Amino acid sequence: MSTNFSRSLSLLRQEKGVSQRVAAQALKVSQALLSHYENGIREPGLSFVLRACDYYNVSADFLLGRTLSRDGTVILDAESLLDANKSPGSPVRSDTQAMLSRKLVVNSVDLAFSLLAQTGNEYAIRSATNYLSTAVYTIFRHLHQVSGRQSADLFSVSPQRFALSAAKIDMFTSEMEYVESLTAHAKDKGSFPDLSHEALQRQQSALYQSLLHIIHVTGIRINRQFERKEDAPSFHETYPKENP
């Protein structure tokens, strides 16, 4: 089984708020064996998978990482996604991959700002807007720059500053301000929306499906980067010390 299974198994237990000992008793295995399953050391049989699905109230496809929806629903194509920003004249509609990618991002951003609006924190909303705006700016500027067909006069930030990561610095600053705003909001006991899976699935199921997809795919991509670094030989393994 894939690493998605062991990761899902561990995350579901943590989300349920139970210890390995309690979960192991309910799943009729030893705590040591459950630990092996959650860490990907051993693979369980079908009977355990079925018990885990019943215990955590999820589908086998979700537990095995075959779908992002807990009830087993699969995103089949771009048209099956709700488009939070319908624009019939959009040129990306002629390309399935571009349309799917656009919908996933637009829907997820729409949900994120909907949740931020519920906090009433204008500073957090503004800093989140700045962060995402700079990301879009960067994507377009690289496209504009590499095409080599347009004048750079469109941009007020000089090519030298852009090349020296001025946009990345702005994104980092915006992210820092965003976190500080939310932290201050929590300290002042400001209100936050219910971000549990059940609440989001119930209230924003269509948009939440897109966000789940982004969370899943991005998590895999990030973890792969770290896995590559962990698997890479160390400096001393690559260049062993010479014998004195």
pLDDT greater than 50 at residue 244: no
Cβ atoms of 190 and 120 within 8 Å: the answer is yes
pLDDT greater than 80 at residue 233: no
- Residues 189-212 have pLDDT tens digits of 999 999 998 888 889 888 888 888
- Residues 145-161 have pLDDT tens digits of 898 766 777 888 999 99
Task: Return the structure tokens found at 138.
Answer: 């960067």
Task: Return the structure tokens found at 214.
Answer: 């982004």
pLDDT greater than 60 at residue 240: no
Task: Return the structure tokens found at 131.
Answer: 């962060």
The CA–CA distances, whole Å, from 177 to 120, 122, 223, 238 equal: 16, 12, 26, 41
Task: Decide which of 139 and 77 is more confident.
Answer: 139
Cβ atoms of 59 and 70 within 8 Å: the answer is yes
pLDDT band at residue 72 under the 50/70/90 scheme: low
**Which domains does the chain show, CATH number per domain?**
3-63 (1.10.260.40), 91-231 (no CATH)
**Percent of the chain scored above 90 by pLDDT?**
44
Q: How far apart are CA 175 and CA 178, in angstroms?
A: 5
Q: How far apart are CA 129 and CA 92, in angstroms?
A: 23
